[in-house]
Amino acid sequence: MTIRALFLSIGLLVAAATSSVAAERLSYEPKAFQSALDAGGPVLVHITAPWCIECKAQKPVVAALAETPDFKNLTIVDVDFDTQKDALRALKVQTQSTLVVFKGKEEIARAVGITRPEAIEALMRRAL
């Protein structure tokens, strides 16, 4: 077995082992979003755009945190800033790179443009 194949195998095993503890991810759809809120669990809404520098910095941080056991009960709802204008209106969001945190049905925090991992983690923890 080559080194590359070995690392690929290890990566797949780690992904399989951690997939059961990962946060649930949804693409924004009004009924699914409302169901997530109605369920009463923690919800993070992440508004991004493919051309946004801050969004590109936020995405891997949110993804890495979503894979940790601490955030296994978190639902992450992804919203595309360019194509999902109905979501932007419903959430009263005016810019990309916005993170909105809900605890139950109540919005408890929001931040725009934060990219420091510790700041994103602190924001996400407010929903727990």
Q: In this predicted model, what pLDDT tens digit does every residue of 45-75 receive, in sequence order? A: 999 999 999 999 999 999 999 999 999 999 9
Beta bridge partners of 44: 76, 101
User: What is the CATH architecture of 22-125?
Assistant: 3-Layer(aba) Sandwich (3.40)
CB 101 within 8 A of CB 107: yes
Q: Of 126, 101, 104, nearest to 112 (Cα)?
A: 101
- pLDDT on residue 44: 98
What pLDDT, in 10s, does the model give residues 4-54? Answer: 433 334 443 444 454 567 899 999 999 999 999 999 999 999 999 999 999
- pLDDT on residue 104: 87
For 69-78, letters b (16+ CB in 10 Å) and e give eebeebbbbb
- pLDDT on residue 21: 79
pTM of this prediction exceeds 0.85: no
